[in-house]
Homo-oligomer: A and B are copies of this chain.
Amino acid sequence: MQFETISETQISKTKQLFTVHSPLIHCMTNDVVQTFTANILLAIGCSPAMVIEPEEAEQFAAIADGVLINVGTLTSDRQSAMRLAVYSARHAQKPWVLDPVAVGTLQFRTQFCRELLKLNPTAIRGNASEIMALAGSSQGGRGVDSLNTPNDALPAAQALAREVNTMIVISGEVDYVTDGHRTIAITGGHPIMTRVVGTGCGLSAAVTAACALPGDRLLNIANTCAIMKQAGEIAKRNCRGTGSFIPEFLDALSQ
């Protein structure tokens, strides 16, 4: 299979777009990654805001430049608020992104993710097991960990992207970004990124911001994956363990 690749020039251009446009991102995300997600968006020059009360979520989704829906610690209250936010974003023609954390194994979120799929998310970001479970081709991972490789998930991702008219990011050792017609492969990064909570969820937030940028959306998303992978490599070189990886990663993103 033939994949598009990306150049350093293109990556730099997306970096610059983040700081010039500074998209305001409405994050409806899980309890575990709230701070890290906000700091990742701030580091790349975007403006995060977490708004969760149903009426406010509906109102804010139309004001913000993009909405992130991450089902990591879904509850029925949050589900109601997320639904309103998605309807509102669609009505206001704002992009919204689904992060289907641990979909497959857990029934409540799996049902909700399938419901959201019908509302045509602008983009979806998950690990290989999550994307396969969302596409109905596997049972999901072990908790939040993937049991499959991005290569395993690519055919299902491409088919699902065409079916739902969305862009899908499978993140892992190689990230694939596909709309079902074009597929971009992004190499790099480091396994230590899976030993720090929130790097995947943070990528989903950054992908939401990428969807709010002008220009080639698939390319902006791919460049965002590259920005995160490169920051992970720099942080890995400078850190002495998973603890110092965190500030080093944000430092690399913010420079």
Interface set of A (CB-CB < 8 Å, partner B): 24, 30-36, 38-39, 42-43, 47-53, 55-56, 59-60, 63-64, 72-77, 102, 105-109, 142-145, 195-198, 239-244, 246-255
Q: Is the CB of B35 within 8 A of A198?
A: yes
Chain B residues in 8 Å Cβ range of A251: 239-244
**A240 CA to B43 CA in the complex, in Å?**
12
Query: Could you say which of A24, A75, A142, A242 has the most chain B C-beta atoms within 10 Å of its C-beta?
Result: A242
Copies of this chain, whole number:
3
Selected A-B contacts with CB under 8 Å, 12 pairs: A24-B143, A31-B34, A35-B35, A35-B198, A42-B242, A49-B143, A51-B73, A53-B109, A241-B252, A242-B251, A243-B250, A243-B253
Which residue of B is nearest A24, CB measured?
A: B143
Given A106-B56, A107-B56, A108-B55, CB of A243 within 8 Å of CB of B39 = yes
Given A42-B196, A108-B55, A252-B241, CB of A50 within 8 Å of CB of B31 = yes
Chain B residues in 8 Å Cβ range of A142: 24, 47
Contact of A35 among B33, B42, B248, B254 (CB under 8 A): B33
**A32 CA to B42 CA in the complex, in Å?**
13
**A239 CA to B74 CA in the complex, in Å?**
36
Q: Is the CB of A56 within 8 A of B241?
A: no
Quote the shortest CB–CB distance from A28 to chain B (angstroms).
10
**A69 CA to B254 CA in the complex, in Å?**
31
Contact of A243 among B74, B76, B77, B248 (CB under 8 A): B248
